[in-house]
Structure 1
Amino acid sequence: MLARAAADFYWMGRYLERTEHTARLLEYQLTRLVDTPADQLALGWRVVYTTLGHPVPQVPTDADEAEVFLIADAYTLAGTLVEDETNPNSMISCWSRARENARQLRPWLPVRVWTCLNQGFMWIRDCDFARAWAEGPAELALEAIDRLHLLVGVVDAMMSRDDAWRFMELGRLVERLQHQAVLLDTWVRAGQPSNGPRLSWSDLLRVCRAYELYRRRRSIQVRRESAIGFLVRNPELPRSLRFAVHRIEQLLSGIDPRGARYPLAPPHRMAIRLAASVEMDPGNENQAPGDELDSFTALLRDSRQLHDLIMATYVNYPVERGLPS
């Protein structure tokens, strides 16, 4: 596969996953607008913006933080993350970039995959945000999630398991790993004991679509250490860190021309290192509260290095060296 095509598939997967991540965080926050205290809403918006890497609105020196995030301003805060084309991480910007990557890949993509992605982009492009907000603030985010899940299902049903599919899946899972590491780090920091508002660990499980599975596998009562460990190491949960790193390792084993034979390609070695660190460090129930932060920071750093290694090995390699063989 051409390096340019591999990069387009990889980034297409990353942008689609980023769009869903934004939609899930918005759905969590917007369903709480009616009956949640202002200071709790303020903390929620801060977590959403911090997790997405978006600058938080400046708080005037004479204003309380909660005043910046009052319900009346939720429309603007949500709109920035949905329809603001000047924001590179907004849902419409990420969907547009995924579509542009897919447009370059038309010869490799099944027609139905392109059609489904294009219809999703046109839906969000033509969406009347004000009208959608009036009908129900969280409904637009839920509709976006449903459309993205439909696209993932079409990809799963129609694409052959070749390198095109592997690079797309690799992009999705690298993006998921990075975002989940940031989300867990942000939630743990915001959930540390204080006199102010605190986040619910049940809500974190719901954001990660893990609440029902947690209740079946662990307990009806959600405990902090148990919830963190579940989101880190449960092998059955699609948004656990363990699930992501092991799938990344499998995909890189298929992409690497040497397969699982030594010496492994640099991204494959880094994926194995990440898998080992997930098994050993973050979410260990023997850790003191707050000790997970160093582990999540290291995991995020290594996942970014993994991205750099993927680009250097399969996309931006020197012409005279060529692909590994």
Structure 2
Amino acid sequence: MLAREAADFYWMGRYVERTEHTARLLRHQLTGLVDRPADELALGWRVLYRTLGQAAPDTSADADEAEAFLIADAYTLAGTLIENQTVPDSMVSCWRAARANASQLRPQLPLRVWTCLNRGYLWIRDCDFPGAWKVSPAELVSEGIDRLRLLAGVVDAVMPRDDAWRFLELGRFVERFQHQAALLDTWDRIGCALRQRPALSWADLLRVCGAYELYCRRYTMTVHRDEALDLMIRDPEVPRSLRFALHRIENLLMGIDPLGNRHPLAPPHRMALRLAAIVEADSGNSDRAAPAESGESGLFGRLAENGQALHDRVIAAYVDYPIADGLPT
């Protein structure tokens, strides 16, 4: 496979996953517009934007972050992350980027995959956001998630399990790992800080990640911080847990690497194993998210740093490799 094709499949997977991640956070936030207090809603918007690495819209650089989200209205905050094409993490921007990568792969991409992705982009590009907001603020985002799940099903059904599929899935799960680590970190440090009122619910975090019902079966109806984080960090059966994503990344890299699981392992594979070791060695202590002012790096800080290093190694090994070396075959 050519390096540019590997890069297009990889980034297509990343942008599709990023679109769904943004949509999941928005659906949770918009579903609670009616019955949640204003200060709790503002905290939810703050966590959402911080997780995505975005600043509150229409605020000055020196504005207080908490106050900015208390002042801004929900329509503006949601619209910025749905239909604003100048915001990199908005749903329409991510969908457009995934489509742009897919358009470079038309000869290698099954027609059904392209059709499903293209229809999804045209739908969100042409959607009537003001009209949809009047009907139901969360309905538009929910339909977007359904379209993304349809795309994932089509990919699973029609794509052969060759390197094209592996790079597409690798992009999805590297993106999932990085965003889930950022979400857990932000929820713990900002959304549920000790002695803070208001505070976000750990049950809501599990609902965002589709793990609430499993938690209730495993533990109890009352959700506690440590058990919730353990589930989302180390449980290999939860699709949005860090361990689940790392397991998929390891298997995909094993398939891409011509040596498979034999030594010497490729640099991305070694980094994935290092991340898995960090996750497995987590003691479950309360210092997973070290305070920013402490200058220390908690578990989530190490995961964020090494997650970025994993992405860099994937790009270096399979996209920006030295021409004289050639792509491993």
Deviations 1:41-60 (A, max 9, x none): 11000000000110124389
Residue in 1 aligned with 2:243?
A: 242
- From 313, 322, 328, the equivalent of 1:324 is 328
Percentage of identical aligned residues: 63
Assess if the C-alpha contact under 8 Å between 1:173 and 1:247 holds in 2: yes
Runs of 5+ unmatched residues, structure 1: none
Q: Cα offset for 1:88? A: 1.3
Residue in 1 aligned with 2:11?
A: 11
Residue in 1 aligned with 2:295?
A: none
Q: Aligned pair in 2 of structure 1 residues 62, 110: CA closer, same or farther (>3 Å)? A: closer
5 Å-filtered alignment, 1:23-172, equals 23-57=23-57, 58=59, 65=66, 68-69=69-70, 73-172=73-172
Deviations 1:107-143 (A, max 9, x none): 1111111100001001001100000101100111111
1:297 paired with 2:298, answer no
Assess if the C-alpha contact under 8 Å between 1:47 and 1:186 holds in 2: yes
Q: Cα offset for 1:65? A: 4.2
Structure 1: distance between partners of 2:66 and 2:166? 44
Q: Cα offset for 1:61? A: 9.1
Assess if the C-alpha contact under 8 Å between 1:38 and 1:66 holds in 2: no
Q: Aligned pair in 2 of structure 1 residues 291, 62: CA closer, same or farther (>3 Å)? A: closer
- Number of residue equivalences: 320
Structure 2: distance between partners of 1:119 and 1:63? 40
Residue in 1 aligned with 2:175?
A: 175
Q: Aligned pair in 2 of structure 1 residues 103, 60: CA closer, same or farther (>3 Å)? A: closer
Q: Cα offset for 1:317? A: 0.6
Deviations 1:237-282 (A, max 9, x none): 100000001110000000001111110100011111111111112x
After superposing on structure 2, the runs of 4+ consecutive aligned residues of structure 1 that deviate more than 3 Å are 57-70, 290-293
Q: Aligned pair in 2 of structure 1 residues 242, 9: CA closer, same or farther (>3 Å)? A: same
Residue in 1 aligned with 2:252?
A: 251
Matching residue's letter, 1:242? R
Deviations 1:204-262 (A, max 9, x none): 00011111111122222211100000000111110000000111000000000111111
TM-score normalised per structure 1: 0.95
Assess if the C-alpha contact under 8 Å between 1:39 and 1:65 holds in 2: no
TM-score normalised per structure 2: 0.93
Assess if the C-alpha contact under 8 Å between 1:51 and 1:186 holds in 2: yes
Q: Cα offset for 1:290? A: 3.6
Q: Aligned pair in 2 of structure 1 residues 34, 51: CA closer, same or farther (>3 Å)? A: same
Structure 2: distance between partners of 1:64 and 1:317? 41
Q: Aligned pair in 2 of structure 1 residues 196, 61: CA closer, same or farther (>3 Å)? A: farther
Assess if the C-alpha contact under 8 Å between 1:20 and 1:148 holds in 2: yes
Q: Aligned pair in 2 of structure 1 residues 106, 224: CA closer, same or farther (>3 Å)? A: same
Residue in 2 aligned with 1:315?
A: 319
Deviations 1:74-95 (A, max 9, x none): 0011000000011111110100
Structure 2: distance between partners of 1:315 and 1:68? 40
Matching residue's letter, 1:236? E
Q: Cα offset for 1:196? A: 2.4
The worse-fitting range, judged by mean Cα deviation, of 60-69 and 170-179 is: 60-69
Structure 2: distance between partners of 1:61 and 1:304? 28
Structure 2: distance between partners of 1:195 and 1:301? 27
SS in 1 for 2:222: coil
Structure 2: distance between partners of 1:305 and 1:46? 27
Structure 1: distance between partners of 2:104 and 2:63? 51
Structure 2: distance between partners of 1:218 and 1:29? 25
Residue in 1 aligned with 2:274?
A: 273
Assess if the C-alpha contact under 8 Å between 1:59 and 1:65 holds in 2: no
Matching residue's letter, 1:164? A
Q: Aligned pair in 2 of structure 1 residues 126, 188: CA closer, same or farther (>3 Å)? A: same
SS in 1 for 2:195: coil
Structure 2: distance between partners of 1:193 and 1:308? 35
